[in-house]
Amino acid sequence: MFNEIKKVLVLAPHPDDTEFGLGGTIQKLIDLEKEIHVIVFSLCEKSTPEGFKIGTIEEEMYKSFKFYGIKNERLHILNFPVREFPAKRQEILEVLISLKKQINPDLVFLPSSSDIHQDHKTIYEEGIRAFKYSSLLGYEMPWNNFGFTSFVFVKLDQHHIDKKIAALKLYKTQEKRNYSNVDFVISLAKLRGGQIQQNYAESFELIRFIQM
């Protein structure tokens, strides 16, 4: 599937969604020398945990993308208010249409159709409108998903998983969240890998596939 792909775009409602949803797959795509773009829609300043200064999450995000080797000119950082995306959906759609013309991606990763988080749901709904002529894959976030149709699997090697874990560890603000636990991340990768008789994998919802 990835052989014909040249440009990849990730729609990330929040700074760490790329790493949680497809941190191993991103490293695999980078290894394959694909052009990676990421749109982050909110810097989540209102969600800054107690004990951290405003702006820490943004700093962690840039550290993580630098760690992956994603170039700053391929990062498209916005600051819609966290948990208020439904009220901003037309503005979000207009941004997506503008960036579609600018980037013209072959493959778009976005939250899955079963993601119940209000921000994620909005990005899914506006994302499929803006990118209906691109291949679309929905990434998995079990703590937000009410059911998940894992019809696409990406085999991962140990170094892909190691990269994902190391990137997530850069988000000190998220350490108290249960899904930041290393055992959880590895267990999910092993579960998905076991479904395809591999050591590790990440799985995705097949929303639309267009043969290039």
- Domains within the chain, CATH numbers bracketed: 2-206 (3.40.50.10320)
Q: Are 12 and 124 in contact (CB under 8 A)?
A: no
Three-class SS of residue 137?
strand
> Which amino acid makes up residue 13?
P
> Which amino acid makes up residue 5?
I
Helix residue ranges, H only, 104-179: 118-130, 158-169
**What's the pLDDT tens digit per position in 92-150?**
999 999 999 999 999 999 999 999 999 999 999 999 999 999 999 999 999 999 999 99
Cα Rg of the chain, angstroms = 16
| Distance set, CA 98 to CA 5, 72, 94, 95, 211 (Å) | 21, 18, 6, 5, 24
At 33 the pLDDT is 97
**What's the pLDDT tens digit per position in 36-78?**
999 999 999 999 999 999 999 999 999 999 999 999 999 999 9
pTM of the model: 0.97
